[in-house]
C-alpha cells in the first residue's frame, strides 16, 4: 500500500478532483488548503522569506500498490501547467492500515 501526497495549485484543484472522482476504485481523497514556501528560480537572496508564502492544496490518499502509478500519472497530468510552482507528488510506503470502526486491516481497510 502507498500514501500519495500531492501539493498542487489551487486553480487546478477542481480539474484534479473531477478526474479522481471518475476513478471507480478510488473512493475518496482528503484535501487541505496549505501555505508554504519553497525554492524559486531567480529570487534575489535579500528577499524577505515571510513574503514568499504561497497557497497550495494538499491532496492525500491511501491506495493499493496496483493503483498507485495510475493515480500519480493522473495527478501529474491534471495538475500540470508547465510553470514553476506546479507542485510535487510524494509516494510513501505504508506498512499497515487499520479501519477503526471494523478492525479490518490491510487493503480491506482502504
pTM here is 0.83
For the segment 82-110, what is each residue's pLDDT rounded down to a tens digit? 998 899 999 999 999 999 999 999 988 88
Q: Please state, rounded to an integer, the average pLDDT across all residues of the chain.
A: 88
34: CATH: 3.30.70.120
Residue keyed to cell 477542481: 14
Number of domains in the chain: 1
pLDDT at 50 over 80: no
pLDDT at 42 over 80: no
Decide if 47 is inside a domain.
no
Residue 71 near residue 98, CB atoms below 8 Å: no
Number of H helices, E strands in the chain: 2, 4
Amino acid at each position: 500500500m502507498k500514501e500519495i501526497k500531492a501539493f498542487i495549485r489551487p486553480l487546478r484543484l477542481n480539474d484534479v478532483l473531477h478526474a479522481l472522482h471518475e476513478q471507480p476504485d478510488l473512493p475518496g481523497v482528503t484535501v487541505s488548503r496549505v501555505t508554504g514556501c519553497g525554492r524559486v528560480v531567480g529570487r534575489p537572496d535579500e528577499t524577505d522569506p515571510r513574503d514568499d508564502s504561497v497557497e497550495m492544496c494538499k491532496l492525500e490518499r491511501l491506495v493499493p500498490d496496483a493503483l498507485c502509478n495510475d493515480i500519480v500519472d493522473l495527478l501529474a497530468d491534471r495538475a500540470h501547467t508547465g510553470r514553476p510552482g506546479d507542485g510535487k507528488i510524494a509516494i510513501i510506503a505504508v506498512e499497515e492500515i487499520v479501519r477503526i470502526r471494523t478492525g479490518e486491516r490491510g487493503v480491506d481497510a482502504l
